[in-house]
Amino acid sequence: MKLFIDTADPKEIAKLAETGLVDGVTTNPSLAAKTGLDYVESLQEICRTVKGPVSAEVLATETAGMISEGRRFAKIAKNIAIKVPLTWDGLKACRALADDGLMVNVTLCFSPVQAMMAAKAGATFISPFIGRLDDAGQDGMELIHEIRTIYDNYDFKTQILAASVRGIPHVRGAALAGADVATIPPDVFKSLLNHPLTDKGLAVFLADARKAGVRIREE
């Protein structure tokens, strides 16, 4: 499963990209507002840092405006994915942008039928919001399972991008359910390797090495 970082902070992304484990980035105007930086300038910097898809979200709500904004975003870099909402206007824009050969991320998906419609519209990515479904008392992870089944039934190429990820259980569940991508807040990404037994085991190894006087000599 690919791991995207869900932030618009270029410095945070650059730091995490040093791990070699960041496959892409998702942004939106709300995340950009938190940085206090110009959205387009942030996207330019992020695209220089990360070679994988970088989602840039349109602000328009009608088809023509989405297409216009999407085409402007696409000029920033070749790895820009245009993020549009899962509305009728959004899907019409998705089809037009996809026909232009551009990557499109259809966001705010909350049902498997919505995901099917986005795939038919040519979406590169579909973004089901699992955390928000959980907040509403529904099973967000079940949505990933259902979308996976529909896409496999009809050989849709749209990638399932698990969004609204709240913690490691969501990452684990998305991977087991067959999501192609999970987009993860920086703090969750940093916690993915955490396990008390790993820390304990490393401490024991190092203590044993010190007791035994183990050294690794340089050549």
Catalytic (active-site) positions: 83
Q: What is the 3-state secondary structure (H, E, C) of the chain?
A: CEEEEECCCHHHHHHHHCCCCCCEEECCHHHHHHHCCCHHHHHHHHHHHCCCCEEEECCCCCHHHHHHHHHHHHCCCCCEEEEEECCHHHHHHHHHHHHCCCEEEEEEECCHHHHHHHHHCCCCEEEEEHHHHHHCCCCHHHHHHHHHHHHHHHCCCCEEEEECCCCHHHHHHHHHHCCCEEEECHHHHHHCCCCHHHHHHHHHHHHHHHHHCCCCCCC
